[in-house]
Amino acid sequence: MLKNKIIKLLVGTNNKGKLREIKDLLPKNVEIYSPQDFKIKSPPENGKTFKENSLIKAKFFSKKSKMICLSDDSGLEIDVLDGDPGIYSARWGGKKGDFKKAMNRVFKELDKKDKNWREKKIKARFICALTIYNKNKEIINSIGKVEGFISPVIKGKNGFGYDPIFIPIGKKITFGEMTTFWPRLQFNPKTQFDIRCEKCQILVPSPIWQASSIIAVSWAKYAIFISLCIYQSYNDLIQKVPLSINL
C-alpha cells in the first residue's frame, strides 16, 4: 500500500489521447507529468497480457523519471476474431498509430470471417489494465472492461483509438459519437462507460457529481468519488492510493 499522499504523478504514456483522458479524470491539484516532459521514449511492450504490459510501462517510466507512475495498457477484443486485436490494438495502426487504418483492418478481418457480419451483433469489449509503481518497487494494479458491439461503420470524431466503432451495451451510438471529457471533471455520457473513467475517475470534492452511476466513499478527511461505470473494479485500488486533495 502507498502510505503517502500522491501530489505528483507521472502518467506513463506517450499517447496524447490517453494522456488527455487520464488527466481529465485525476484531481486538479495533483501535478501531472508525462514521459515527454522528461524526453523518455516508450519501452518495448513485450508482455503477453494487458496487465504485464501495464506493469512494464509503469516500472520503466518510474525508474527513468524517479516518480510514482500510473500506466495503463488497453485494447479492443473481438470474439469472432479470437480476441484480436487485443494487446496488439495500437500496433494495428502501424508505426504512426493511425487508428483509422486500424479500424479499417478490423473491418477487413471481419469480412474474412463473415461477409454478412454487418447485419449481426459482433460482440467485443474494451479491456484496461492499470498499474501504479513507485521507486520503492510497490505495485498496485487493477483490470476492468466494458462490453459492447462493433459498429458496421465508423461513426463520430470524439475520443480516440477504436472509439468510433465501439457501441457499449445499452447504447445505440459509438464512443466516438459521445461527448468528449472536456473540460476536466465535467460529466458527460462517455465517462459512464469509459474503462479509464471506471479506473481513474476519482477523488473530487463534494458536491460535483450528481448521477446515479457515482457513489461517495468516506475516507478520513477526503471525499472520494468513484465512477462505477459498468464495473467497480477500481474500488480496491483507490483505497490503497491516497491522492492529494486540498482540505
Instruction: Give the cell for residue 74.
Output: 488497453
Query: In the structure grid, which three cell numbers stand for residue 152, read together?
Result: 458496421
| CA 234 and chain centroid, separation | 12
Distance CA(204)–CA(187), nearest Å, equals: 12
Rg over alpha carbons for the chain, rounded to the nearest Å, is 18
Give dist(CA 210, CA 204) in Å, integer: 12
Helix intervals (H) in the chain: 16-24, 50-65, 99-113, 195-200, 235-239
| Catalytic residue list | 73
Do the Cβ atoms of 231 and 130 come closer than 8 Å?
no
